[in-house]
Amino acid sequence: MAVEKMQMMNLVAPLDDMHDLLQEIVLIEKIHIKNAVKEIQDSNFTLAVLEEHLDSIADMGTIVKYKANKSSYKIYQDKLSYLANALDMILEPKTDLDRKRDIEDAVAELDSITRKVAPIQDKLTEREETLHRYEDFLESIEYLKDINIDVCALSRMKHFNYHIGTLTKDKRLKLRNNYENISAIVLHIGSSVDGEAYLIFSPAQLEYEAERILKSLNFKEIPLPAEFEGVPSEIYQKIQDVIMDVKLDIEDLKSQIMQLKKDYEDRVDRIYSRVLLEERIENLKDHAAISEHFFYFSGWIPEVETEKIKQKLEEVCSRVIVVFSEVDEVPKRVVPPTKLKNSWILKPFELLVNLYGVPNYKELDPTIFLGLTYLILFGAMFGDVGQGAILFLAGWMIRKKESLKTPGEIMLRIGISSVFFGFMYGSVFGFEEYLPALLVHPIENIDFVLYSSIVFGVVLLLISFGISISNMLKIKEYEQGVFGRNGIVGLLFYVVLLVGVLELVLSDKIIPISMLIIVGIILLAMMLFKKPLTALLFRQPAVYHEGKKEYYIEGGFDLVETLLSLLSNTISFIRVGAFALNHVGLFLAFTTMANLSNNRAIGAVILIAGNIIIIGLEGLIVFIQGLRLEYYELFSKYYTGDGIAYSPFKLNLETEERK
């Protein structure tokens, strides 16, 4: 439940082994890539001065960026997409590939499979198009099948042309109102959900005029099948027979495709993986540096993976040099990526942490604190056994969808918290008469609920100060860690402020107010003069980057902001109790409306609708208010969130981007 320790990996190997090593790096999928040229230029690329390293070190004087001669893999990707569509499969990249198989062999197999699939797929496409055409013909002839007219005779007319088609209902009325302006015979031959069907005869000499009028009416022409002869009823039967034959052909072709899928699906996936792998290797080369004989590569890896990764790379190339450096051994300006390591219970809350910002590598991971406190805050504001159970079930269902898994896991957990506090409050779907309250009925103990909220907020703020001090001292920021507003002096000032307020509220003077005021002023002065005090503590000169006068003016305003923020941060937690009361009050409003209806059925509907509104609307509001307390009242004390997310280079680019 912390930030996982990382190490910088610097790799040097002969140019001849570049492809094989980069291939292994892609398939390992645990290396967060750095630009080797930049690392070398910034003197961050280090090798131990051993005898076997001398050639590599000597060659580093001629370092240049690798210029990849990138081949276009689009043609292969297009063929793979064609096969995936033909075989009705989803391409899945695999990392357990044969490392020695080259791209040429994979492409040759791809062409071979394509030659087997393409004729059947093309035939299937042609038969499906034929089926669609004949079904359209069948629909067209439907309007004429009861008319005893030879279709061929219509086509052979010399002095008249004909049109068969449909008009929408409104266009039909427009046509009826303009019969006298149309030099044609208009026959209504049927109706359908799309509109009205018409057979129209017009003189050949007036064809242009007829077409213009029909076009203005959005007349949808129905083509008649030229390959069939006879009266419509005979043609209708013939088309039905042909459609049956085409459907049988399609079924046979689909069974052949299914057999091909069974035979080649895994092989197509592996070809896809090889093509994708070569593409990723080319992308990876952009981060490499080369000299005359060697190539150089850098990246961050989890400390627990160092030996395993080194072993894999050495198995690929015996001449590879892999050097790992601790974070403390690299320059401070080089920021390691952050990989969070939490238990399955709290891991979903990493999403809420990352929404604010990725934790800095050197600060404490706030996930455990946020996860536990957020569960308490949400449950306290939305405590109800029934409504919490609905949230739990909703989260259980949502988590089954991969893209919503983490939000579903969070909803599941806050549902459990809501159920727990529902038992504490004795509330089930808003009713408080069916369960005994294990702690308190909020609406009957308003003062207790509100005061408890503030006390809980004070506890969280004190813990936040402790985390802030730990973070600052860890990175040796003694000025802020000791004398800052969120440091030791700031914590002491907050305690003095709390004691003073408590004495005023309780009218019990344990410590004289005058003494508290004097101590408070001294602590504020220490915050204002934190820079010279830090310099005095460590016997160093005080350096004012923005000027001495500006520093103290800004410091004065900062003291006022500190005083106001401490008060507002504390009072802000009263909303926890307020929402607990609001939760009860809102349901009471729906209960009152249900009672006023004087009808059990209507009353039940009102209560069900009320619960739905409370779960949906108030649940969302409480969710946001809990986040607000975490982000603005607590994170502002101890969390910077300016880290870099650990993003290892992966074979599947989509997976890498989701991370």
Judged against a pLDDT cut of 70, whether residue 59 lies above it is answered with no
Instruction: Output the pLDDT for position 657.
Output: 46
**pLDDT > 70: percent of the chain:** 90
Q: What is the pLDDT of residue 66?
A: 73
pLDDT per residue as tens digits for the range 399-415: 999 889 999 999 999 99
CA 509 to chain centroid, in Å, comes to 55
Distance CA 313, CA 21 (A): 7
> Residue range 131-135: average pLDDT?
83
Q: What is residue 158's predicted lDDT score, i.e. its pLDDT?
A: 79
Mean pLDDT calculated for residue range 332-338:
89
From 571, 587, 613, the end of a domain falls on: 571
Query: 483 and 550 share a domain?
Result: yes
Tell me: do 297 and 361 sit in the same domain.
no
Is residue 81 a part of any domain in this protein? Answer: no
In the predicted structure, residue 656 carries a pLDDT above the cut 60: no
Tell me the three state secondary structure of residue 288: coil
pLDDT of 429: 96
562 and 579 co-located in one domain = no
Q: Could you tell me the residue range of the domain that residue 215 belongs to? A: 144-221
Mean pLDDT of 602-613: 95
Distances (CA, A) of 53 to 64, 70, 152, 324: 19, 31, 90, 14
Least confident of 252-266, 586-600, 642-656: 642-656
CA 550 vs. chain centroid, Å, equals 44
Task: Say whether 429 sits in a helix, a strand or coil.
Answer: coil
Question: Are residue 520 and residue 615 in the same domain, yes or no?
Answer: no
Does residue 404 contact residue 416 with C-beta atoms inside 8 Å? no
Q: Per-residue confidence at 54, pLDDT binned at 50, 70, 90?
A: very low
CA dihedral of residues 41, 44, 45, 49 (deg, nearest 10): 120
Least confident range from 101-115, 498-512, 556-570: namely 498-512
pLDDT in tens, 575-589: 999 999 999 999 999
Contact, 586 vs 621, CB < 8 A?
no
Number of domains in the chain: 4
Residue 198: phi, psi to the nearest 5?
-135, 150
Tell whether 429 and 578 lie within a shared domain: yes
Among 204, 221, 238, residue at a domain's last position = 221
The pLDDT of residue 653 is 65
Would you say residue 507 has pLDDT above 80? no
Residue 44: what pLDDT? Answer: 64
Taking the C-alpha atoms of residue 47 and residue 432, their distance in angstroms, rounded to an integer, is: 70
In a domain, 138, yes or no: no
Is it the case that residue 69 has pLDDT exceeding 70? no
Return the percentage of the chain with pLDDT > 90, whole number: 56
Give the mean pLDDT of the chain: 87
| Across 21-31, average pLDDT | 93
- What is the DSSP-derived secondary structure letter of residue 616? I
Residue 82 identity (one-letter amino acid) = Y
Q: Residue 143: is its pLDDT beyond 60?
A: yes
Over residues 551-560, mean pLDDT:
88
pLDDT of residue 97: 85
Average pLDDT score over residue span 172-196 = 73
289-308 pLDDT tens trace: 888 888 889 999 999 999 99
Residues 588, 439 share a domain: yes
Q: What whole-number distance in Å separates Cα of residue 634 and Cα of residue 177?
A: 75
Q: What pLDDT was estimated at residue 108?
A: 93
pLDDT band of residue 466 (cuts 50, 70, 90) is: very high
pLDDT digits (tens, 9 = 90+) for 79-118: 999 999 999 999 988 888 888 888 889 999 999 999 999 9
Residues 6+ apart with CB under 8 A from 391: 411, 412, 414, 415, 418, 615, 619
Can you tell me the distance from the alpha carbon of 3 to that of 361, in angstroms, rounded to the nearest whole number? 7
Q: Is residue 256 part of a domain?
A: no
Q: Which of 147-156, 180-189, 442-451 has the largest mean confidence?
A: 442-451
Q: Are residues 346 and 406 in the same domain?
A: yes
From residue 140, how far is each of 150, 161, 163 by CA, in Å? 15, 18, 12
Q: How far apart (Å, rounded) are the C-alpha atoms in residues 542 and 548?
A: 10
- Looking at the predicted structure, is the pLDDT value of residue 601 above 80? yes
Residues 380 and 327 occupy one common structural domain? no
- Residue 145 has a pLDDT of 66
Q: Is residue 457 part of a domain?
A: no
604 plus 535 within the same structural domain: no
Query: Is the model's pLDDT at 190 over the cut of 80?
Result: no
Nearest to 365, CA basis, from 346, 385, 393, 386: 346
Contact 63, 43 (CB under 8 A): no
Question: What pLDDT does 144 receive?
Answer: 67
604 and 539 belong to one structural domain: no
- For 358-389, write each residue's pLDDT tens digit: 999 989 999 999 999 999 999 999 999 999 99
> Do residues 61 and 13 share a domain?
yes
Residue 259 lies in a domain: no
Q: Can you give the pLDDT at residue 51?
A: 44
Domain termination site, one of 221, 250, 270: 221
Report whether pLDDT(52) > 60: no
pLDDT per residue over 226-269, tens digit each?
666 667 777 778 888 888 999 999 999 999 999 999 999 999 99
Q: Are residues 498 and 423 in the same domain?
A: no
Among the listed residues 155, 189, 156, 157, the one whose alpha carbon sits nearest the alpha carbon of residue 172? 189
| Closest to 577 (Cα-Cα) out of 386, 462, 372, 439 | 439
Domain-located, residue 170: yes
Tell me, what's the pLDDT at 496? 94
| Structural domain includes residue 489 | yes
535, part of any domain: yes
pLDDT in the model for residue 240: 83
